[in-house]
Amino acid sequence: MPAWSTISAFAAASVVLLLIPGPAVLYTLNRSIADGRRVGLAAVAGLEIGDLLQASAAALGLSAVIATSAVAFSAVKWAGAIYLVITGLRTLRHPPAPIDPDQPGVTMRRAFRQGVVVNALNPKTALFFLSIFPQFVDTEAGRAGLQSLVLGAIFVLLATFFNGIYSLAASALRDLLLRGRALPFVRRYLSGSFFIGLGVLAAGAGRAHASTA
């Protein structure tokens, strides 16, 4: 079991990460505004399964293995980077379909599945578990696996809370946002550019690690 001081420090680091807009936040807002609260919360549930996959990988020591291998690290980072860039290009190329509040465009099941993929390949979360997460595991205290499980569970709980708040807030303001003229621009150009930018940052992180490994 990690010390309470370690848990507090890790929780603070996790909150900082979760407050920085990334693929999970953007996907939560898009689904909540486009399809309402139920679909938005289904998307959040999928996102947290993706977080759980990354946290489980860290707890099992896979993140430490990847972090020591330039080839494995680059493969993971490039997979996430390519996914984000392709998503961004598709968003920029195609005008968003008009949102009909009475006709949801995505089912709860599909929103859930997409959420799993978004966070399972989320480079921001992967980088957190590869670089920051191991610093909070005290190998000298023993039972590193248990420590990792506890910290991973804390991260998933915090992510569920924050993403849930984003979803509830966006769905509550849905009617106001749908009447605004800025929403189509945000959904197409801002969202697309944001995804591409994250993909470029992820690719750069992979090259930086490879050069120092």
The predicted pLDDT at position 159 comes to 94
Predicted TM-score (pTM) of this structure: 0.68
The pair of three-digit structure tokens given for residue 170, joined into one six-digit string: 């966006």
Residue 211 has pLDDT above 60, yes or no: no
Residue 67 is predicted with a pLDDT of: 60
Residue 207, pLDDT > 50, answer no
Q: Where are the domains of the chain?
A: 4-14+21-212
Q: How far apart are CA 197 and CA 201, in angstroms?
A: 6
Is 193 or 102 the better-scoring residue by pLDDT? 193
Angle at 96 between CA 93 and CA 102, to 5 degrees: 165
Please tell me the predicted confidence (pLDDT) of residue 55: 87
Backbone dihedral region for residue 75 (phi beyond 0: left; psi -120 to 50: alpha; all else: beta): alpha
pLDDT in tens, 144-190: 677 888 888 999 999 999 999 999 998 888 777 666 666 666 667 77
In the prediction, which pLDDT does 206 show? 45
